[in-house]
Structure 1
Amino acid sequence: MEKRVNFEVIIIGGSYAGLSAAMSLGRSLRSVLVIDSGQPCNLQTPHSQNFLTHDGHAPSHIAAEARRQLMKYDTIKFHRGLAVSALKTDQGFTVTTQTGETFSGRKLIFATGIKDIMPQIPGFSECWGITVIHCPYCHGYEFRNAKTAILANGAKAYHLASLINNLTDDLTLLTNGRVEFDFPAAEKLRANDIAIKEKGVVEIVHQDGLVKEVVFADGSREAFKAVYAALPFEQHSDIPVALGCALTEHGYIHVNTLQETTVEGVFACGDNVEMMRSVANAVASGNATGAIVNKELVDECF
């Protein structure tokens, strides 16, 4: 049987937002292709939390169950591969994969997520998503009352400290250099018994991703159970920018309230458009985007 290459909607990214968008569209009998490279940003995370009905499940389990449920919708197809380019055409868009395969669609949805930029600290990346974590809503309860560090500086560190302070009484802020707070912020941290250490961090000692100690530039070290970190990021895919989609000042794909990018016919959802990085939020974002894209297809032909 000839392989189908033309679709109403192509979704690049088959994690939670992309799969949720696909379900929304598939239930309206839209022909959908989901292109996914199999490299989600939470690949190393053992458990997903704060997602009703799936609290504590492995992220891979949630994604696999989602794909299994989508298989009953005949109009949804999957392609395992890396999308490397997209072009706007008179009929919509063409998407090309790393292996040279080309697919066409009337609408395009980017659910490509973001990529965290790891610091050059030995042990950091091995612990990322396990005991070096980014979000108190996603991971904080599991490390409640534990000896905890925050590896960050400036406004991001202050924001994290205010949230995590409710989860543990043993909290230390590691600025990895000179403090970048103004005077009132530093005083408020100290008033809440949050220690501030301005030493450089040179290593995270761990066992299979479980933090044991943080080693400082002066040779001293301190034991912690968890380390929060605020990392810079970049878009996981460079296709949106190459296609002409604008980014916000913070590096997210710019979308309006209808998830439309600045390129007509192109939509985006999930972690690549906003700072709320959770499975629950990605699923909600994708679900809404699928419905919005279906409505646009309806309006064009009804």
Structure 2
Amino acid sequence: MPPHAKSPTPDLVDTLIVGGGPAGLTSAVTVARNLHTAIVFDSNDYRNERTAHFHMLPTWDGKNPIAFRDAARQNTIDNYETIFYVDTKIEKAAKNDDGLFELTDAGGKVWKGRSLVLASGIIDVPLDIPGFDECWGRSM
């Protein structure tokens, strides 16, 4: 199980971050370094879930992507008390008339923040070629 902050999440934060991969984790530490609060929402559904090796991130090339995500979370939790992690899928995002952003998660809970970062990555569309699916994320 990935690391989580020890204190409960606040009702209102400075930044809501959708996505617990490299972009969302980088956003979290950037927000923390600027002395703001944030919640990172992680669906635990990753584009690279089939691979055991992480690439294109300095010092993590060839290493396990799960280890990277856990280490990045732990590093932020250890160094900043203003970042929180919630493992849930976000179903809806909206900006209210009062200027606050509202996210609704898969369980129906509503989260509020002053700003929003969408770091949810991309979705690959596999090609209809025999053998493609078996090789995707493993050998190509």
Q: TM-score range by the shorter chain?
A: 0.7 to 0.9
Partner of 1:26: 32
Aligned-partner SS, 1:116:
coil
Gaps of 5+ in 1: 133-302
TM-score, normalised to structure 2, is 0.86
Q: Which has the larger share of helix?
A: 1
Partner of 2:13: 7
Partner of 2:83: 76
**Is the CA contact (8 Å cut-off) linking 1:5 and 1:102 kept in structure 2?**
no
Q: Which amino acid aligns with 2:121?
A: G
1:8-157 pair list within 5 angstroms: 8-72=14-78, 73-89=80-96, 90-132=98-140
Q: 1:2 Cα deviation (Å)?
A: 6.6
**Identity of counterpart residues, as a percentage?**
34
**Structure with larger RCO (C-alpha < 8 A, sep 6+):** 2
Instruction: Count matched residues.
Output: 132
Runs of 4+ in structure 1 deviating by more than 4 angstroms, as ranges, are none
**Is the CA contact (8 Å cut-off) linking 2:9 and 2:39 kept in structure 1?**
no
**Larger gyration radius, structure 1 or structure 2:** 1
Partner of 1:254: none
CA distance in 2, matches of 1:16, 1:87: 24
How large is the RMSD of aligned CA atoms in angstroms?
A: 1.6
Q: 1:51 Cα deviation (Å)?
A: 2.8
Q: 1:116 Cα deviation (Å)?
A: 0.4
Gaps of 5+ in 2: 1-6
TM-score, normalised to structure 1, is 0.42
CA distance in 1, matches of 2:137, 2:8: 42
CA distance in 2, matches of 1:112, 1:35: 9
